[in-house]
């Protein structure tokens, strides 16, 4: 096993809260625990594609103050530019993976810690296999859809922000006798909508894992009215489709047609059927940037320290993970293959049904 002297770190994919806490943990552990140098690579793999390579040596002193408490990533990140399928200006695509691997060599790295979700970690893993890079992964995704770990960085804060939005909407819904529809992030999975919906007192939760009929949603809202409730809270994951399974089309002010806006669709349909006054809120990017919750900071710290320890032990091609109150590590190949959707019969869905929350399926 080659001696480690200098490691790289990068953040990849969509940003979230807790990334800076993970960077801090990596730097503290590598510098103080092992005496290594840590090179922060800018903009994910784009920093390794740039010439000269776009990177900086990270110092402990950078992390003394507020960074632990600050969302985002000081390294920058991107969710564009897969180096195996890199888009050129003319619309064609080429394989630039060797350039990335060469960037790693140019930096003189002995290992690389990559922080990303399933997509980013899969790309990093393929690069590592191809180039013989020493890679350790740290899981990060606000969507919480990575299997093999109970916790991914960013999810806890995203749930907090979404719950906070419901907390804001409840009083105004009740004051004006309205149905409030809240669309939250969740590209494929409904975890944020489900957890924040329960925690925030939603009456209806629509997630991609459970097909719905708008008639059932309307029936729930009518039933609440029968019981004397003058308002309702409806949580919708952005990945939900129209009732007919089609994505929602959206005409921009410019005339362009885009997709998205399921919340508007649900809001309009509820209004049509029930006659209720509805209002839609699309939470958007504020979900990424909240001050990281203590849990996200704690888990990011656990992952950062453990990832460095894996590098020290030469345990590469692995991802750190959290399960059953323990930090563990799993093969990266398993990690990126282990997608986890919401379980339609799982504990949280059963809890939601037990509270009378409708998923629009019955």
Which positions are annotated as active-site residues? 143
Task: Determine how many CB atoms are found less than 10 A away from the CB of residue 25.
Answer: 23
Nearest 5 degrees, angle CA 44-CA 46-CA 51? 135
- In the complex, the smallest distance separating the C-beta of residue 352 from its own copies, rounded to whole angstroms, is 8
CA dihedral 230, 233, 234, 238 (to 10 degrees): 150
Answer for which of 125, 140, 191, 306 binds its own copies (CB under 8 A) is 306
Binding of its own copies by 334 (CB under 8 A): no
Hey, which residues between 51 and 80 contact its own copies (CB under 8 A)? 60-61, 64-66, 68-73, 76-79
- CB closer to its own copies, 133 vs 280: 280
Distances (CA, A) of 197 to 117, 134, 214, 218, 265: 23, 41, 18, 18, 19
Binding of its own copies by 28 (CB under 8 A): yes
- CB closer to its own copies, 102 vs 344: 344
Binding of its own copies by 89 (CB under 8 A): no
Hey, which residues between 173 and 232 contact its own copies (CB under 8 A)? 173-177, 180, 195-196, 198-201, 227-230
Binding of its own copies by 149 (CB under 8 A): no
- In the complex, the smallest distance separating the C-beta of residue 66 from its own copies, rounded to whole angstroms, is 5
Query: What's the order of all strands across the beta sheet hosting 135-139?
Result: 55-57, 37-41, 6-11, 111-116, 135-139, 318-323, 326-331
Answer for which of 156, 221, 239, 276 binds its own copies (CB under 8 A) is 156
- CB closer to its own copies, 171 vs 314: 171
- CB closer to its own copies, 101 vs 111: 111
Q: Which two tokens stand for residue 332?
A: 């990266």
Binding of its own copies by 250 (CB under 8 A): yes
Sign of torsion, CA 144 146 147 149?
A: negative
Binding of its own copies by 285 (CB under 8 A): yes
Q: Output Rg (C-alpha) for the chain, integer angstroms.
A: 22
Number of residues that make up the chain:
362
Q: Which two tokens stand for residue 287?
A: 């979900």
**With contacts defined by CB under 8 A, how many residues of the chain interact with its own copies?**
104
User: What is the three-class DSSP state of 308?
Assistant: helix
Answer for which of 140, 148, 288, 318 binds its own copies (CB under 8 A) is 288
């Amino acid at each position: 096993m080659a001696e480690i002297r200098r490691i790289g770190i990068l953040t990849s994919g969509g940003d979230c809260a807790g990334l800076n806490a993970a960077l801090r943990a990596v730097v503290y552990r590598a510098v103080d625990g092992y005496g290594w140098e840590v090179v922060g690579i800018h903009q994910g793999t784009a920093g390794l594609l740039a010439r000269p390579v776009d990177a900086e040596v990270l110092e402990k002193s950078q992390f003394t103050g507020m960074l632990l408490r600050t969302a985002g990533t000081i390294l920058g990140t991107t969710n564009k530019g897969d180096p195996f399928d890199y888009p050129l200006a003319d619309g064609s695509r080429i394989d630039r993976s060797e350039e990335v691997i060469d960037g790693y060599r140019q930096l003189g790295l002995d290992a690389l810690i990559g922080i990303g979700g399933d997509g980013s970690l899969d790309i990093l893993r393929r690069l590592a296999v191809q180039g013989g890079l020493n890679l350790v992964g740290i899981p990060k995704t606000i969507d919480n859809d990575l299997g093999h770990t109970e916790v991914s960085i960013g999810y806890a804060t995203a749930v907090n922000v979404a719950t906070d939005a419901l907390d804001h909407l409840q009083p105004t819904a009740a004051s004006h006798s309205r149905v409030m529809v809240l669309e939250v992030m969740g590209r494929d999975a409904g975890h944020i909508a489900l957890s924040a919906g329960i925690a925030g007192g939603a009456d209806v939760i629509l997630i991609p894992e459970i097909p719905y009929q708008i008639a059932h949603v309307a029936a729930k809202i009518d039933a609440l009215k029968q019981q004397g409730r003058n308002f309702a809270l409806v949580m919708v994951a952005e990945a939900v489709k129209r009732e007919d399974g089609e994505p929602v089309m959206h005409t921009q002010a410019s005339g362009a047609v885009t997709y998205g806006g399921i919340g508007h669709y649900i809001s309009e349909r509820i209004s049509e059927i029930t006659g209720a006054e509805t209002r839609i809120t699309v939470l958007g990017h504020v979900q990424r940037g909240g001050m990281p919750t203590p849990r996200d900071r704690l888990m990011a710290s656990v992952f950062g320290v453990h990832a460095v320890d894996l590098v020290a032990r030469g345990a590469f091609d692995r991802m750190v993970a959290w399960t059953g109150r323990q930090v563990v590590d799993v093969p990266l190949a398993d990690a990126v293959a282990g997608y986890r959707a919401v379980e339609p019969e799982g504990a949280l869905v059963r809890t939601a049904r037990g509270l009378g929350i409708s998923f629009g399926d019955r």
